[in-house]
A and B are shown apart, each in its own frame.
Chain A
């Protein structure tokens, strides 16, 4: 068991965002460049370092649904907005939430969003999912399933079997998405699910398909 998974399990909480990304990285999944900071000074340095615009998220074991709790601030463009975001996020501590710090990564926005995930089935063990992302996953339920461990061929088939696959082909002058990278991501997630038996569920949503690789904009790993 990976020490981060073990720690989260012992403390009875989901993995924190920096932990989740570090775990994905351990299984060979490329994650966005990011910083974990505690002070306003560190925040500004990190933003400068990553380049504007950025996303800031609260890192707290008590906030599972960060967006709903006001713990995610998108598209921060300058020092003034960063300072303001810092106070806003740290203020969540006054509501009784333990705040470990702030997570910062570059801000990206795409009109196409995908998602990947994992659940454990009583009969078949870890099941990997792939589908449209954002709110579309709930509205259209356009998801395909694969039983872990998965091969590259199997995940390629999962990608081809969703109705929204045409979105990956690059319409209206857009370049097509890197399907091989998505396929590889699903293979690696399936391996991780086989190895890390303490993980109960995973949500990678949204994921932005890039011309080369993918951008994982949010991760939730529940143990």
Chain B
């Protein structure tokens, strides 16, 4: 095992973890320990505090020297001034990685303390996540050394520069039943950063999609190089915040004064094959889509609906996002005409009308796949409509192809069961047809990005 692999194994799949911090109820050290216990961590747990005694059923060790065995990970929520000596002890004990939750470093202007931490860690041979972070999680290992809501197991890895935003995202995801493969809040990022994490996650078997929230990067060029390789293996979705900083650059040319930071990040993401989104909601939709939907071969989408309005909204949005919402060919129209209601509208959207059920949806979706790259199937339900039948029709049609079918069943209680069927069948259902169009447009964008990266000369 290489040094890096050993570090990441210790970080995400440790067999023994040392917890340094205050173990009184309500203190961060205690809360982390409690959350980790409630999450069902199976490895050995070693709380360390000079007071000794016991906490949450674990004996408390007075110092690291008293801890038996060979723990691999340290989780530290001690005051900033005692952290360097703790890191030295960890290094001497063979602990290769520490998650430093504590604040009081560069984020409050204490650059000396952070520099000292970096140097001590380097000497001690200990890699650092943090400081000033919300911790890490591996739900698949029931490993939750973090102050945030425990993530459900899933297939999206989430790396965040902001701990608070990360925490809010996890809380929201829990509500929606959305799971994660890994969670990392790296805070001040004094050591382990985006590039290394991406490289690890690219080969992590539980991770299908990587989502990152960045405010700014430290080693942009390294990040680009790694991200390009990673993006060929797995989709990377990024949210980049941060005010435009045009004008802060010392520039004497026109070009220089024009370049906003944001546009440069945009260009960098494009180059790396990273799909950029505007906010958390879009990120969820897209991570869902990327982990579930096949990648479309092109931008042609058919919108199949039983109601005009929502179908047209979806079509408008799709068109605005650069998807091709062309009408069906005459051949396809003929085929559809023979098996659909005489009132059906055979343009795009293909409006099956409200009298349609299993058969109409199955035929329309299956036929649409014969000349479109993707289908958005919309069901605007009424209580008397057989939404489960419609769902089955779409599911059966989708199983005949490797192209993506996105669904929008609206709304509320009357479609809940049908949405359950869709989700069991691995189909993505979103709250509106517009959101389906958005996800689809980004899937198409990812396909184009991949082609471009493959075409570009390697360097």
Please list the residues of chain A having a beta carbon within 8 angstroms of any beta carbon in chain B: 64, 115, 117-119, 121-125, 127, 129, 131, 137-138, 141, 143-147, 149, 151, 153-154, 157, 201-203, 205, 220, 222
Closest to A117 in B: B255
In the assembled complex, how far is the CB of residue A150 from the closest CB belonging to chain B, in whole angstroms? 8
Pairwise interchain contact A201-B452, C-beta atoms closer than 8 A: no
Contact A121 B253 (CB under 8 A): no
Q: Sorted from nearest, which 10 A-B pairs have the closest CB atoms?
A: A123-B220, A117-B255, A145-B267, A151-B456, A201-B253, A124-B220, A203-B253, A147-B271, A119-B256, A145-B263
On chain B, which size bracket covers the interface?
A: 20 to 34
Chain B proximity of A68: nearest CB distance (Å): 13
Whether the Cβ atoms of B267 and A123 lie closer than 8 Å is no
Q: How far is the CB of B245 from chain A (nearest CB, A)?
A: 11
Would B221 and A146 count as touching, CB distance under 8 A? no
B237-256: contact bitstring with A at CB < 8 Å (1 yes, 0 no)?
00000000000010111111
- For the complex, is B334 an interface residue (Cβ under 8 Å from A)? no
Does any Cβ of A come within 8 Å of B258's Cβ? yes
Interface SS majority for chain B? helix
The verdict on A118 contacting B268 (CB below 8 Å), with A123-B217, A151-B455 known, is no
When each residue 390-410 of chain B gets 1 if its CB lies under 8 Å from chain A and 0 otherwise, what string results?
000000000000000000000
Contact across chains for B452 and A153 when beta carbons are under 8 A apart: yes
B108 within 8 A of A: no
Contact residue among B259, B455, B457 (Cβ-Cβ distance under 8 Å from A127): B259
**Given A124-B221, A124-B264: A201 touches B255 (CB 8 Å cut-off):** yes
Residues of chain A within 8 A (CB-CB) of B176 are: none
In the complex the two chains form, what is the Cα distance from A99 to B220 in whole Å?
42
Contact residues in A for B224 (Cβ distance below 8 Å): 124, 147
Give the complex CA separation of A42 and B402 in angstroms: 72
Provide the bound-state CA to CA distance between A64 and B252, in Å.
10
The main secondary structure of chain A at its interface with chain B is strand
A161 to B251, CA, bound (A): 24
A141 touches B255 (CB 8 A): no
Asked if B359 CB lies within 8 Å of chain A CBs, one says: no
B456 partner residues in chain A, CB cutoff 8 A: 151, 153-154
Mask for B438-459, Cβ within 8 A of A = 1, else 0?
0000000000000010011101
| Interchain CB contact under 8 A, A201 and B252 | yes
A202 touches which one: B253, B268, B271, B459 (CB < 8 A)? B253
- Of A143, A145, A203, A220, the most chain B CB neighbours within 10 A belong to A145
Given contacts A123-B217, A153-B455, contact A202 B264 (CB under 8 A): no
Contact A145–B252 (Cβ < 8 Å): no
Residues of B within 8 A of A203 (CB): 253-255
Chain A residues whose CB sits within 8 angstroms of the CB of B459 once the complex forms: 149
Bound complex: CA A122 to CA B251 (Å): 13
Whether the Cβ atoms of A129 and B255 lie closer than 8 Å is yes
Residues of A within 8 A of B271 (CB): 146-147, 154
B258:A129 contact, CB within 8 angstroms: yes
Contact A125 B251 (CB under 8 A): no
Residues in B with CB closer than 8 Å to A201 are: 251-253, 255-256
Provide 6 A-B residue pairs closer than 8 Å at the C-beta atoms, listed in order of the A residue.
A123-B217, A124-B267, A146-B270, A147-B264, A147-B267, A201-B255
Chain A residues with CB under 8 Å of B217's CB are 123
With A121-B220, A124-B220, A147-B267: A202-B255 Cβ-Cβ less than 8 Å? yes
The answer to whether A205 and B452 touch (CB under 8 A), given A121-B264, A129-B259, A147-B267, is no
Residues of A within 8 A of B266 (CB): 145
When the two chains form their complex, are residues A123 and B259 in contact, meaning their CB atoms are under 8 A apart? no
Closest CB-CB distance, B457 to chain A, in whole Å?
Answer: 6
A205 and B264 CA atoms in complex are apart in Å by: 20
What is the bound-complex CA distance between A133 and B404, given in angstroms? 42
In the complex formed, the residue of A with least CB distance to B259 is A119
Contacts of B452 in A (CB 8 A): 151, 153-154, 157
- The answer to whether B253 and A220 have CB atoms under 8 Å apart is yes
What CA separation (Å) do A145 and B259 show in the bound complex?
8
The answer for the CA separation of A145 and B191 in the assembled complex, in Å, is 30
B259, A124: Cβ atoms under 8 Å?
no
- Docked pose: A147 CA to B249 CA in angstroms: 17
Report whether B253 and A222 are in contact in the complex, using a CB–CB cutoff of 8 Å: yes
A127 partner residues in chain B, CB cutoff 8 A: 259, 264, 267
A116→B219 CA distance, assembly (Å): 26
Least CB distance, A194 to chain B, in whole angstroms: 9
Which residues of B from 191 to 225 have beta carbons under 8 Å from A? 216-221, 224
> Which B residues from 96 to 120 make CB contacts under 8 A with A?
none
User: How far in angstroms is the closest Cβ of chain A from B232?
Assistant: 15
> How far, in angstroms, from A131 to B253 measured CA to CA in the complex?
14
Bound-complex Cα distance A157 to B256 (A): 21
Q: B252, A222: Cβ atoms under 8 Å?
A: yes
Cβ of B75 to closest chain A Cβ, rounded Å: 31
Instruction: State which of A117, A151, A154 has its C-beta within 8 Å of the C-beta of B254.
Output: A117
